[in-house]
Structure 1
């Protein structure tokens, strides 16, 4: 490893402290990393809630779980939207608390709008109690 590379790496990781407070004339190419301090790495949020709409119905804030492999919609929300084609299915799901529950049905190819983006989503419909704050889980 060249000496200047090791010097810059130690300077950026604050292993080596540069004591003089004078300007240094750098000839040739230099890295932009020297000019700014790197921001600390943020932790993975796991899940968050964002506002969305399905058709003309504003759903409110939906929970986005980055670890989930299916999208859940409560039965009351499916009835509120009305114009969805429900396909019957036989499916059992094991929830995070290790309880086993049956799905009601499946709704395929639903257009979900989040800000200016539109996504095509399949939902598993569950007959669960109404939660006004988070009606969907994506």
Structure 2
């Protein structure tokens, strides 16, 4: 009997309502006829309830900054590449592509809409570029843009790269 007292089963709320039709009716009546079931009794909420139910605000954090990783393409050190959760393509400036001489740029008919809503055409594309992050090497396709290279973060790695690398971004740990 003690085992059953300590047993906790966590299931989705909708599934719980399906398995308890009387409670489902009670809850529906409670929501549609608000004053009928409300009592003035105090209810003690246990510590493992949701923050929403407890009405306790989570702690507010400062901006952790951008997520960057050091990487190499061939023998060229890229420095820190920006991991961009909002981008759908990997971007490389044309000047960096020239420094990595073994890359073959293919023409493309792609057009890009930038954050300021302007439309631009990339210089070309490079496929199957081997990007080395620490001791791991991953293939990635890059869109080459004829833009000024950012000295601190010259490369943007987007969601396809994160999917390829099975990347997990832990904002709390940095």
- Mark yes or no: TM-score above 0.5: yes
Q: Where in structure 1 do 4 or more consecutive aligned residues deviate above 2 Å?
A: 2-6, 9-13
Question: Could you tell me which residue of structure 1 aligns to residue 132 of structure 2?
Answer: 113
Alignment partners' CA distance in 1, 2:125 and 2:91: 9
Point out the more displaced range, 81-90 or 104-113.
Answer: 81-90
- Show structure 2 runs of 5+ residues with no match: 9-44, 50-58, 158-174
Alignment partners' CA distance in 2, 1:84 and 1:46: 31
Question: Could you tell me which residue of structure 2 aligns to residue 35 of structure 1?
Answer: none
Count, aligned residues = 111
Question: Could you tell me which residue of structure 1 aligns to residue 46 of structure 2?
Answer: 10
- Show structure 1 runs of 5+ residues with no match: 14-39
Greater strand share, 1 or 2? 1
State yes or no: 1:53 paired with 2:72: yes
State yes or no: 1:65 paired with 2:84: yes
Report deviation, 1:50: 1.0
Report deviation, 1:10: 2.3
- TM-score, scaled relative to structure 1: 0.69
The residue correspondences of 1:1-138 to structure 2 (distance < 5 A) are 3-4=5-6, 10-13=46-49, 47-138=66-157
Question: Which one scores higher on RCO, CA 8 angstroms, separation ≥ 6?
Answer: 1
Asked whether the 8 Å contact 1:62–1:135 carries over to 2, the reply is yes
Report deviation, 1:4: 3.9
- TM-score, scaled relative to structure 2: 0.55
Greater helix share, 1 or 2? 2
